Amino acid sequence: MSNTPQFNKALNDILTTLTPHQKTCLQCNSVFDIFQEDIDFYKKLKVPPPTLCPECRKQRRFAFYNTILKFYKKDCSAHKDEKPISTFYPQSPYKIFDLKYWWSDKWGGEDYSRDYDFNKTFFEQFQKFNLLVPHPAITHYWKGVINSPYTISIIDVKNCYFTSLGGYLENVHYSHWMGESKDCLDSLNFGRCENCYELITSDNCYNCKFCHDSFSCVDSTFLYDCKNCQSCFGCANLRHKSYCFFNE
């Protein structure tokens, strides 16, 4: 038995009568379409139709997404003479601390505690609270980060540049979502790789370039869905092969 019968009934009434139509975004007033495929998706997830357009919904999701590689120098609220590298732009109203100070015991969250005001909405108070409490200049732990100032959400890295969401890396540049790798460039979603360029969703590769969905490959270029291959070029869907050129 449902714990929210009234909600379920109201939602069912909305979804039952819902047909493809156009809506006006409550935030930007742009007109957007709701297609039958969207309605089927709402019914599957049991959620009401959106009130915001796709772009405004994307903005809302990105509001707390902090692995976008865009860096600034912003005044530190703890040390007025410092301008640490930050993901907050200089004119932002949010306060920041440099990482070493933010992770230290020199301040505590209780210093900024406030009582909840039941006469105001939650989000109104949340916004003021968010502006009051200092944020880390960049979201990662400051220890174990060696010569890698332009990085986000990383741990134990050395000589990395413009990388985000990864750990245990050395000499990895312009990459996202990776781990335990070395000497890699311009890659996405990879792990345990070395001396590679332009990898996407690949793992345990060495000296490979332009490889997609490939695993345990060596000395290969332009691969798609290959596993345990060596010295191959322009190949797809191969398993345990060596010295292949366009799958031959």
Please report, for the domain that includes residue 49, its CATH number.
Answer: 3.90.1280
Confidence of residue 239 (pLDDT cuts 50, 70, 90): very high
pLDDT digits (tens, 9 = 90+) for 87-103: 898 999 999 999 889 99
* Pair 58, 87 in one domain: no
Q: Are residues 127 and 154 in the same domain?
A: no
Which pLDDT band, with edges at 50, 70 and 90, does 61 fall under?
confident
Q: Distance (Å, rounded) from C-alpha 224 to C-alpha 226? A: 6
Q: Tell me if 160 is assigned to some domain.
A: yes
Pair 177, 229 in one domain: yes
Distance separating alpha carbons of residues 199 and 220, to the nearest angstrom: 11
Residue 247 lies in a domain: no
pLDDT at 165: 92
Which residues, other chains included, contact 203 with Cβ-Cβ below 8 Å and sequence gap of 6+? 190, 191, 192, 193, 215, 216
Question: How many domains does the chain divide into?
Answer: 3
Indicate whether 157 and 189 sit together in one domain: yes
Task: Report yes or no on 159 lying in a domain.
Answer: yes
Does residue 68 or residue 212 have the better pLDDT? 212
Q: How confident is the model at residue 207 (pLDDT cuts 50, 70, 90)?
A: very high
Residue-level pLDDT at 33: 97
Residue after which a domain boundary falls, among 62, 83, 107: 62
Q: What percent of the chain has pLDDT over 70?
A: 98
Out of 87, 119, 136, a domain closes at: 136
Mean pLDDT computed over 21-45: 96
Residues 97 and 172 in one domain: no
Please indicate, yes or no, whether residues 54 and 119 belong to a single structural domain of this protein: no
| In a shared domain, residues 11 and 78 | no
State the burial class of residue 44 (Cβ atoms within 10 Å of its Cβ: 0-12, 13-18, 19+). Answer: exposed
Is residue 243 in some structural domain?
no
Q: Which residues contact 38 (CB under 8 A, 6 or more apart)?
A: 49
248 lies in a domain? no
Same domain, 121 and 179: no
Residue 120 lies in a domain: yes
The pTM assigned to this predicted structure is 0.78
Pair 167, 195 in one domain: yes
- Last residue in a domain, options 62, 90, 107: 62
Is residue 42 located within the same domain as residue 102? no
Within this chain, do residues 174 and 121 fall inside the same structural domain, yes or no?
no
Same domain for 217 and 162? yes
Domain that holds residue 78: 72-136
In a domain, 27, yes or no: yes
Asked if residue 24 is part of any domain, the answer here is yes
pLDDT at 1: 58
CA 203 – CA 192 distance, rounded (Å) = 6
